[in-house]
Amino acid sequence: MLKKTVISFLAVWALAVLICGFLAYFVTSHNDDGMCDGLGRSLYEAPIIARIFLGQERMWTGWSWFIGDMVIFWGSAAAIIGIYNYLDSK
C-alpha cells in the first residue's frame, strides 16, 4: 500500500515538474512590464552564448533562473528515479 502511494506521489511530482518546465520554456505572454514566461517571470534578450542553445529569437529570464531551473529539473529527475529504483529493489 505504501509503495503504491509513494509511486503515485512520484508520478504527480514528475508531472508537476514537466508542466512547470513547459510553462517556463515554451509559453510566453505580454504584460505591463513587457514579455514574461508562463510562470510570470520577466523575459530579457538572451546573451550570445545562450542563443547558441536556445535559438536566435529566444528570450530568457537570466542566468540565475536558468541555473535554478536546471537544478530543479535534473535534481527532481534524479530524485524520482532514485526513489523509484529504491522502491523497486525492495
Ordered DSSP codes for 57-85:
T-EE--HHHHHHHHHHHHHHHHHHHHHHH
pLDDT for 22: 94
Task: Name residue 36's beta-bridge partners.
Answer: 29, 42
Q: Is the pLDDT of residue 17 over 90?
A: yes
Q: Strand 34-37 to strand 28-31: parallel, antiparallel, or no bridges (unpaired)?
A: antiparallel
Domain boundaries, the chain: 2-89
Evaluate whether 54 touches 6 at the Cβ level (below 8 Å): no
Cell of 85: 529504483
Query: Each residue of 31-72: pLDDT tens digit?
Result: 887 899 999 999 988 888 888 877 767 788 889 998 999 999
